[in-house]
Structure 1
């Protein structure tokens, strides 16, 4: 899948569905969570939209910095361990 398609998909989600506002309203009951809920949910949503077959493949994509444009510089990566 080309990077141009991925960029268009992100822009579409932001503009049409205002996904950022919805994700920023997410909360959970954890005390001192290790990982940000919004980042974890965003990655799982992208896994679904991009039809990634497994969490292992998602982990590999995260380690290869394929989602670096999605989060601001200096953001700690989220690794999903199953």
Structure 2
């Protein structure tokens, strides 16, 4: 990801971030409730299918989808997940 942004990035930046994520055939988590149409981000998941950033807390509901599906729903990468991946 070429840009860091505090808070919710604007739509044009979210689209750019999603376009830069070239991974294919990867499962990610998207929220099924929350901010309009389930939030704006998709999340990297651990081996148990839980977002690595602990998004949403213990009661949050997530749906596991292919990254391509998440992008079709106008989702972009979770910045916290991206930071965690870079620090590994």
What is the TM-score normalised by the length of structure 2?
0.27
Structure number with greater CO (CA < 8 Å, separation at least 6) is 2
TM-score of the aligned structures, taking structure 1 as reference length: 0.29
The structure whose residues are more often strand, as a share, is 2
Instruction: Give 1 or 2 for the bigger CA radius of gyration.
Output: 1
